[in-house]
Structure 1
Amino acid sequence: MEKLSTQYIRAQVLFWSAYLILNLLFMRLWGAHLTPFLIGMFFGLSVVLGLISHGFRYLYKTYAKNRSLLNISLHLIWLIPVAALLAQIIVSGSMFLMAEFTPKIMSGAQPVSTGGLLGFTINYCILIGLWCTIYLLRAEFQKRRNSEIAHWQLQAQLKENELQFLRSQINSHFLFNAINNLRAMVREDAERTRTGLTDLSILLRGLLQNDGQQLVTLRDELEWVRGYLALEALQFEDRLQFTINVDETLLTAKLPPMILQTLVENAIKHGIAARRAGGALQIDIARVNDESWQIKVQNPPAEFQTSHQGNKIGVRNARERLQLAFGEKAYLDLVIGTDIVTAKVEMPL
Structure 2
Amino acid sequence: MTPAPSTARSSRSALPTLRQAAIVTTATLLLSWLLHSLTSTPFATVFSRVGFVGGCLLMAYSAAGKWHPRWLAPGAARLLAIVLTAPLASLGTAVLSQGGNALAYLRKTETLVGHILMVILALAFGLLFSLLAMRNERRANERADRLQAELERNTLERELLDARMRLLQAQIEPHFLFNTLANVEALVAAGSNNAGPVLRHLIAYLRAAMPRLGDADATLDTELQLVRNYLELKRLRMPDRLQFAVAELPALAQFRFPAMALLTLVENAVRHGIDPSVDGGRIEVGGHRDPAGGKALVWVSDSGVGMSETAQPGTGLSNLRTRLQAFYGGDAHIELHEQAPHGLRVELHFYPEPKP
User: TM-score, with normalisation over the residues of structure 2?
Assistant: 0.77
Question: Which residue of structure 1 aligns with residue 18 of structure 2?
Answer: 10
After superposition, give the CA deviation of every residue in 1:114-144 in whole Å (9 maximum; x if it has no partner): 5653343222211211221222222222222
Seen in structure 2, the aligned counterparts of structure 1 residues 181 and 103 have a Cα distance that, compared at 3 Å, is farther
* 1:196-275 to 2 correspondences below 5 Å: 196-208=202-214, 210=215, 212-213=216-217, 216-275=218-277
Q: Measure the CA separation in 2 of the matches of 1:288 and 1:225.
A: 23
Question: Which residue of structure 2 aligns with residue 346 of structure 1?
Answer: 349
Which shows bigger deviation, 314-323 or 48-57?
Answer: 48-57
2:42 is aligned with 1:33:
yes
Q: Measure the CA separation in 1 of the matches of 2:222 and 2:163.
A: 22
Letter in 2 for 1:139: N
Which shows bigger deviation, 129-138 or 95-104?
Answer: 95-104
Q: Measure the CA separation in 1 of the matches of 2:306 and 2:126.
A: 90
Q: Measure the CA separation in 2 of the matches of 1:296 and 1:83.
A: 72
**Pairs aligned (count):** 332
Whether the aligned pair in 2 keeps the contact of 1:285 and 1:295 (CA below 8 Å) is: yes
SS state at 2:136 partner: helix
Seen in structure 2, the aligned counterparts of structure 1 residues 299 and 27 have a Cα distance that, compared at 3 Å, is same
Unaligned runs of 5+ in 2: 1-6
Question: Which residue of structure 1 aligns with residue 112 of structure 2?
Answer: 111
Deviation at 1:197?
0.5
Question: Which residue of structure 2 aligns with residue 82 of structure 1?
Answer: 80
Letter in 1 for 2:223: E
After superposition, give the CA deviation of every residue in 1:57-116 in whole Å (9 maximum; x if it has no partner): 4389x899xxxxxxx9xx95x666534311223324535655895327995992246565
Whether the aligned pair in 2 keeps the contact of 1:247 and 1:287 (CA below 8 Å) is: no
Letter in 1 for 2:303: P
Question: Which residue of structure 1 aligns with residue 3 of structure 2?
Answer: none
Match of residue 130, structure 1, among 132, 139, 143 = 132
Letter in 1 for 2:86: Q
Q: Measure the CA separation in 1 of the matches of 2:350 and 2:89.
A: 71
- The two structures, once aligned, show a CA RMSD in angstroms of 3.7
Whether the aligned pair in 2 keeps the contact of 1:285 and 1:293 (CA below 8 Å) is: yes
Whether the aligned pair in 2 keeps the contact of 1:53 and 1:131 (CA below 8 Å) is: no
Unaligned runs of 5+ in 1: 65-71
Q: Measure the CA separation in 2 of the matches of 1:341 and 1:130.
A: 68
